[in-house]
Structure 1
C-alpha cells in the first residue's frame, strides 16, 4: 500500500495549474500577434464539478476554452483534480491496466492533470493535443501524458520540429526514452477501423511508476514544458498561409478522424465519463465542426 502522498499531490496539482496559466498566456499572445480578424480571442474559464454517486463532493476543475478566435477556432486547456471511490467499471479497467491488487477492497483514488486540444482556423496550422496527469490509489501511483501533432495538411519540417522538441524533453531521462515513447504514441494514436494514424505522432506514456516519484514527476514536467516550444513556432509559421475552400474541406474531414478516435478509443474520454466528471469538460476535445463522407 502506498503512503498518502499529500505533499506530492499538492505539488503535482499546482504544476498542472501553472502550466495551464503559461499556455493560456502564450495563446493570448498568438491571438494578439495575428492582426487579421475582428477581435483577438480570449479564454473563458468555467469551473467544473464532479459529484460522487452518494451526492458528496468529489473534486472538479476548470475548463479554459477559447472559441472563434483569430487563430484558434476552438482550444481548450482543462485542469482537474478529482477524487473519491472508483465505480465497478472503473475498478475493472484499472485492475486490467495495472494489475493492482485490492481495488475492490479499497477503491479510493485521486487524479489530477491538464488536458489540451487546439483546433485551428487556418487549415495549414496543425491541430494539437497534450496532456499530463498523476493518478494515486492506496495501492499505487503513476504518471501519464504526452503530446501529438494532428495536421490536416502535413509539412515534413513541422513534424520534424515537433518531434525534436519532444526528444529534447525525453533525453535527460534516458537515452532511448524518446524512441520508446514515440513508438507508444504511434501505437496508441492509431485508428484501427481506418487503418491509419490520427496524426503525425509525438510521444505518449501511461502507468509510469519507476519507484522514484521525483524522477517521474520531473519527466512529466519536462514533457509539459516542451509543449509551447514544440507548437507555437508552427502556429506562427502557418497562421497567415493562404487557404481556400478545398483546404477547409480537407481540414473538416480530418477532424472527423479526430472525433472518431476520441469517442471510440481514447482512455481519458472513457475514464472521465465512467467516473462522473462534467461531460462538457470530458468532451472538450471534440472539434467545433467536422465532416464525413
Structure 2
C-alpha cells in the first residue's frame, strides 16, 4: 500500500519543516509506503522552501510558476500522486504522533463503497474541531447539505477516485471546499471516523485558516457562496431549507465584510420562520460600522452563535 500526502505550499517555508517532521517522525517499521508531494504554488520564498524540504527524501516537489490558488495546487499534487490512498495536509498543520497505526485502523473500518473518509481533527490546544467527536458512521449527500456532523476534518481519499474527480477549481486563492465535497458526495457516501490524524493549527499567525474576516478573504468566500448557490440552490431548498436560509444570511455578512454591494437582497432571501434569531442578528451586524461589526462577529463565533469550524 502507498499513501500519498499532498501538501500545497504558498510562502510556507517557515512552517513546512514542522509539517514534514510530523510525517517522518512515525515512519519507523510501518507496513506501507509514503510519498509526499509538495506543491509550491508560486511562492515568493521558493528557494527557502527547497532548503526546508531537502532533508526529507520521501518528498517530491512540484512548482507552479505563478500563484494559482489552493484547489489548483491540490489538484496538481493529486494528479502527480501514485498512492492507493491520498490525503491533503496544509503546510502549517501536522500529523499526530503514531499516525500510521491510526491510519491502518481507519482503513480497516472504512467501508469499501465509501471513496472518501473524514478523519476527526484537534486544534493546537487539543480541542476537537468537529461537532460530534465520537461519531463513527456514514455521511450522505443530504447530511452534507444539512451540515450534519459538521466540522474541520482531514479528508482521506481512495486514490483512483480522487484522481478522477479532483477539486472544483474556482480560481480563488482560498479553498471553496463545500462545492467540491458536495460534488464528491453526489458520487458516494463518505465515512466519518473519530480516529484523529491531524493537528489543525487554526490560531497560528499567518495560518491557512487565519484572517477569514479580512476584506480579501471575505470577498473570496462571497464568490464561493455564489458558486454554491448557482450549483446547489435547488438541492438546498428541497433537502435543507433552513440551512439554505442561514447560508444566505452568512453570504450577506461576507459581502458586508468584503465591502461588496448588494448585502440586503441575500439578507431578505435568508428570512425564514425557523431562523428568525439568525435573521435579526444578521440585520444588526449589517448595520454596524467597521469598528463594531468585526469584533461582534468574532465574539459570536467564539461563543458558538456562529460555527467555528466547517
Same fold per superposition (TM over 0.5)? no
Higher strand share: 1
Per the normalisation by structure 2, the TM-score is: 0.28
